[in-house]
Amino acid sequence: MAGTNYVIASAHQIAGIGFTSQRTRTRMIRRLIDRGIENEALLQVLATVPRHMFVDEAISTRAYEDVALPIGEGQTISQPYAVARMTEILLEEGPVQRVLEVGTGSGYQAAVLSQLVDVVFTVERIRNLLDKARSRFRALQYRNIHTRYSDGSWGWASHGPFDAIMVTAAPAKVPMPLLEQLTIGGRMIVPVGAQDGAQSLTIITRTRDSFSVREESDVKFVPFLSGKS
Ligand code: SAH
């Protein structure tokens, strides 16, 4: 039966990689620690979320290398260090309840966040990627992730405001509706800059009557695009 075959194939995939990859997973965590990631709870989560399930089986043996990998449609799953650093920044002021992610992609970043905050809302503009991410969330039973097919420039106002917003594609300018969906004290983490120029990881905190901005490092993300595809 087709259903049975599918279950066997995916169980085989999980088991196979589980045995062979424990060492590569540990190596990934060690590398993140070497690069300065300190949040223990985050490191725990990164050691357990199965990154190999978020890429195609053909490249799953590379899943624990510290590199971005193709996920189709010209997009990439972010490098583990970028996921770790952005998540660490998101958590640095203490516990976070509601998070909006713009750019679901493979779903990996949302999966990591879902283990560290109360609830994750994530939006993606490419239907095909979102469908795959949704089936991963179902298969892995991440129940506190809510998804939406839309242009994330508009945020997700009906579920806002958010304690944190993470943008995983690089806009030239931060969309205003996203800033408006932050709580007071809420923070946005966003790589800002032109695709062919330098992008900097920017942390924007909403204060009572304005925003404070800090820039952290040069990064390289796929472009933030408008409209749906
Ligand atoms: N967080 C993802 C990274 C994927 S790459 C992961 O962990 O795999 C960034 C994603 O942002 C791409 O899938 C791209 O389609 C999406 N994206 C770019 N501009 C967007 C927009 N305006 N709204 C929603 N998603 C967008």
Residue 68 CA: distances (Å) to CA of 10, 77, 98:
23, 5, 26
Question: Is 115 a domain residue?
Answer: yes
* Furthest CA-CA distance within the chain: 61
Residue 94: φ, ψ to 5°: 115, -175
Mean pLDDT score, 103-111: 98
- Nearest residue (CA) to ligand 1, atom 2: 105
Residue in 21, 60, 78, 153 annotated catalytic? 78
Averaged pLDDT score across all residues of the chain: 91
pLDDT of residue 194: 81
Question: Is 43 a domain residue?
Answer: no
Q: Tell me how many domains the chain contains.
A: 1
Mean pLDDT score, 94-109: 97
Mutate which of 53, 101, 102, 192 to test ligand 1's pocket (most atoms within 8 Å of Cβ)?
A: 102
pLDDT of residue 197: 80
Question: Is 13 a domain residue?
Answer: no
Mean pLDDT score, 95-110: 98
The pTM of this model reads 0.92
pLDDT band at 22 (very low <50, low <70, confident <90, very high): confident
pLDDT of residue 198: 87
Q: What letter represents residue 130's amino acid?
A: L
Question: Is 166 a domain residue?
Answer: yes
Indicate the angle between helix axes 2-34 and 80-91, nearest 10 degrees.
70
Give the domain range for residue 107: 67-219
pLDDT digits over 195-228, tens only? 778 899 999 999 999 999 999 988 999 999 999 9
pLDDT digits over 116-152, tens only? 999 999 999 999 999 999 999 999 999 999 999 999 9
Question: Is 48 a domain residue?
Answer: no
Question: Is 153 a domain residue?
Answer: yes
- CATH assignment at residue 105: 3.40.50.150
Question: Is 181 a domain residue?
Answer: yes
Question: Is 89 a domain residue?
Answer: yes
pLDDT digits over 151-198, tens only? 999 999 999 999 999 999 999 999 999 999 999 999 999 999 987 788
pLDDT of residue 9: 44
